[in-house]
Every structure is written in C-alpha cells, then in structure tokens.
Structure 1
Amino acid sequence: MIVESNASLQPYNTFGIVAKAKTLVRVKGPADVHAVLAHPDLRDQPKFILGGGSNIVLTGDVKPVVLKVEVEGRRVLDDGPRSTVVEFGAGENWHEAVTWTLEQGLGGLENLALIPGTVGASPVQNIGAYGLELQDRFESLDAIDLMTGREFTLDATQCAFGYRDSVFKHSPARDSDFGLAGRALILRVRMRLPKPWKPVLGYLDLQRKQAEAGVTEPTARQIYDWVCAIRSAKLPDPRVIGNAGSFFKNPTVTPEQCQDIIARDPNIVHYPMPDGSVKLAAGWLIDACGWKGKSVGQAGVYEKQALVLVNRGGATGGEVVTLARAIQTSVYERFGIRLEPEPVVV
C-alpha cells in the first residue's frame, strides 16, 4: 500500500484546479483496500474515491482519505459466436481502452471514443455520446465494499443505469435502499460487444461525417476517427485547457413544454426521445442566454461550445461553481428550465 501525505491533486483533476489531499492511497488492487480498512489510522476516516478526475470540481483541499484507483488490466474474457466480452481494470484510461478493442478487431465502443476519465468511472456516470451509452454495452463489474471489505459483482440491472446516472451516484435514504455512493470502489468492468457488429449512426454529426466521406458502409475504425474529429473540433483538450467536458446534463421536457419554448424560440435544438419526452440541448440554452466566451474570474465558458466550462489559468473551484450557478439562473429565468450539473462538487 502506497500512502502519500499532502499530495497535490492538480494533476488528478482535468479542470487543473490546485488542491491537496491530506492522505492519498494508490489502489492497485483489492489488497490495498483491505490494507486501508485494517489500518488503525485510516480505517475509520471518511473515504473519497478518485478515478481520472474528469467529473469533479475541487473547491478546496480534500480531508477524507483519497483512494486513487489505479487498477490495471485488459483482456478478452470470452469470445463467442454472438458476442465478445472484454474486461478492463478500473484504473485503465477509457479512451485507450476503446482504442485497444479496435486494435483487437472488436467494434462496439467506437462512439464513446475520446471521453476523458477511467474505465472505473464509466459505469458511475453511465457515460454516453453520439447515440450510445455505456449501458448498451455493459456486462458486469466487480467492486469492493469500503465498509466491510467484501468484494461483489453487479450486472446492468443492479447498477440501475439512467441518463448520466447509476446506483453509484446515490446514497441509501434508508437502510433497505441499495445506494452505493462513496461506499463501493469499482475494481474491474466488463463490456459485451455484439456480433455481428452494426454501426450506430443516428447522431446528426456522424451522419454529416458519413456524407462528407461518401461512405455507405463505414467500419468501426472509421466511426472512431469521425467521433475523435468531432470531439476534437468541439471540445478542448484537458491537457491544454482545464475542463470537465460537458458541464450540464441535457434537460428533458414534455412535448407540451417543448412546444411552448418553440413558440418563443423557434430555433431551439431538441430531440424527441423514445419515451415521448423531448431532450433539449443544454449548450444551445446556455448560448442563447449569451454566456459563450464569458468568464467569472478565471473560470469561463468555452468559445466553441457553451456546454463546456474551462479553466483559463488559475481558476478556483469556487469560481467554477459561481459561474455554473449564474448560468443556471439565466437559463431558468429565460426558459423555466433548471440545468443539472454533471460533475461532482467536492
């Protein structure tokens, strides 16, 4: 077990916010977790699980024991006639994992390319992009209970996936409720990739790329390349400009609410959903309120995509939160819609 005191967290959050962890433990496997739970000075302290730091806003130094998940491993677990199951350690970089599957000749995750973060964080957020969500490919995961040290496995149903949501984002309201926020540390994640592979091309930007390329039957690698090109054009590289990707969830409204908004703003970007609701583009709502390119201190709204908040250099978590709240107020006052942030404020 590797334990560090007063460890800088700036390299471990994609916003690049300056903060420290009073105690940081590098988790390479279950043995490290068991060591923490047996340690006389650490076992009773609150714990904070840290993956790639791509979905958090640090507003100060972190007092709980930071468990930095660094579990490695990539393998094909099962290759059957109808699907292939691949397994990754929770500390593996997500985009590198997607790239690895394609290098093995396995399609199915290409729409999720270039999403920042680790594999272990992917089911927590139920990551999604360009017409695909993790739950569409998820098989199961292994985790460890930070209270008991017991290892367990969950399937998709038990993960209770929703839009950017899962059981890992909820605390139990009662002892009988199955909430795992802050309690379960994910060790390994398995995805089931279907055979035969079929492209997912329902997203408008992908259709445009397909038309530009003049390709009627794209390969998984071509879709991967298109997704990387689209994301790179719209979203800043966290290694260059600190950010946490899309900061707000796209809100859903009833058809009646959507028609009311269209009557006032005919150009609003909206997408009908299978359940009859309508999803609105949060980036469009923010842009319509005039926030693109604006700043609060050193926290700003990205000039190319209003859905992304960025660190212009030395931004504090407080500045990011202040900016986010100001945006929420503007959108609510104009459209009557409450935007919900994706990142966790720590």
Structure 2
Amino acid sequence: MDFRHLGNSGLKISEIAYGNWITHGSQVEADVATACVRRALDEGITTFDTADVYANTAAESVLGAALKDERRESLEIFTKVYWPTGPLGHNDSGLSRKHIMESINGSLRRLQTDYVDLYQAHRFDTETPLEETMQAFADVVRAGKALYIGVSEWTAEQLRAGHALAQELGVQLISSQPQYSMLWRVIETEIVPTSEELGIGQIVWSPIAQGVLTGKYLPGQAPPEGSRATDSKGGADFVARFLEDDVLERVQRLKPIADDAGLSMAQLAVAWVLQNDNVSAAIIGASRPEQVSDNVKASGVRLEADVLKAIDDALGDVVVSDPAMTARNAPAKRPS
C-alpha cells in the first residue's frame, strides 16, 4: 500500500481508503462487513471513511466494532455530518452549531474512539451562516474531538470561502470528498485547480462508478441479480444514471485496455483516479472481502500516457465533465 499526504497537511493516509456507504448496516450483515474491514487492514489500508447518515448511524457502529481492537494511532478514521439522522426533527440535519456539536458526540460514541482524524461537512448548508458552521468545526478541533476538517461536494467558490474562514479561525481545512471516476470528471475544471491553490486534497468516492466500471453491466441486458443496480438499499437509484446502453457499450471497450495493462477493470478504474496528483485517496467499498483484495492492487500502479489516451478514446462523449454538476446536484435546503 502506498501512502499520500492529505492536502498540504502532515497527515499521511493510505491512497486506497475503505468506505462503508451503502454496505454496512444495510446491504450486508455485520459479520460480512467486519470481514471486509479485516481484509482491508490485512491489505494495508489504514484509512476508513464513514458518515453518521449511513444506514441512519448503523454504519458507524459496525465500523467502530470492527476496529475497536486495533491500535488507534495506526488508523485514520473519517466521518461526516449534514444529512438527517435520528427521528428527522427540525434540527436533525444541516451544519448548525447545534447539529454539529450533537453529531460529533454521537459519532465518537458509535465509533468507539475519543477523536476522528477528519470531520467533514457532508454537503453545504444553505440555511446556516458559513461563519457559524466553521466556528463550530473549529471548536470541535480545539476540543480534541477531530484533528482536521474537510468537506464533501462543495463548489470551488464554497471551498474558497470555507478555507478562508478556517484560516482565520486557526484550523486546517485540508480535504474535499467529491465523486470522481473515468465517467464522472466534473471536478477537473474548477475544484481541482482551486484545491491545488489552497492545499486541499481530494478523497474521491465512487471511483468505479458504483460498479459500472467493472464491466458487469452489459448493454441491452438486465442488471445481474444481486447487483447494486437491483438493490433498492444498495444504491439502485444512484447507479441508474450510468446504465444507459451507450455508456455501457463504451465501458466494454475498456476491457482490452485493462487486459493489456495486466489489470482487472476495477483495478484500472481505481488506478485511473489515482493518476490525478490532487487525489489523496480513492474510497472503495465492498460487499465481499475478495473485492477489497482485488481493488487494492491498484495501489502504486502508474498508467502510461498512451493508456490514458486509450481510455479517453474508448469512453468518448459519455464522460460527464460539466463543472456545474456539483452545484446542480447539491441540496437547495436542508433535508428533513
């Protein structure tokens, strides 16, 4: 496993991180989830990403139980706050001081740890002054409950404003967690240049496009039984955007490229996002331990320029690259 600095901080993280969105507490049973975490540890992964909203807090509990006997100093544990948790009361979501302070305490309890290495704003809260949000995050850091702060799916303008306030408050906003894959490249035009300027690193999610880039979904055919596309709890609505026949046909053209590189299609997809120097880590998920072992083989892989060009040529115009998609997909108001 190779390690990279998270942004311009001194914190090093495994360049492949293990995330438990969708799977833990919902899609797979706790024993399988624990087996996946154990395999991640065996494969050299030290960075684990979760959020309070995943399975309505259950995912944090599963991860905490799986990691409780590990040396805490050898791990980097990340979580997030914003989306609704609990009974969906009027203050059970967002980035108000109240919700942040209550949420960090709940997350630490479920994760069975005194602190998280990174506490992230899971989305931008349009209903809370940014000054209030950043002050609350700064106080969480000063209380020793988090070491660094980060954000997820913020626009370049929001990143710049949040980073400026963090600097004023004397805390380090060091990360951005966006969706990024061969098929979804919306961060390249604005988010990445802004992050490079500010010293922010990307921790990217869905590098395999919810399994589409494994090649298991075929044009003109129904999704395989038991796949994520058939599981209402496993992201079926999310993966649907990539299941158009023209996209799937293009994805099949990646198979010979992966074969020539000596990689599985999943490994090629993870290795591709790691070619971006602003990416600190790619988050992988798994419903079986074998998937973890397959994906980690992308660590340390360097793709030559001709391979990168062949990928671009294969995918052509099915790639989504409009930077406006970050704002377009953001919630206009707090969910409830």
Using the size of structure 2 for normalisation, the TM-score is: 0.28
Work out which structure has the larger RCO, using CA pairs closer than 8 Å and 6 or more positions apart in sequence: 2
TM-score, normalised by the number of residues in structure 1: 0.27
In our comparison, the structure showing a higher alpha carbon Rg is: 1
Higher strand share goes to which structure?
1
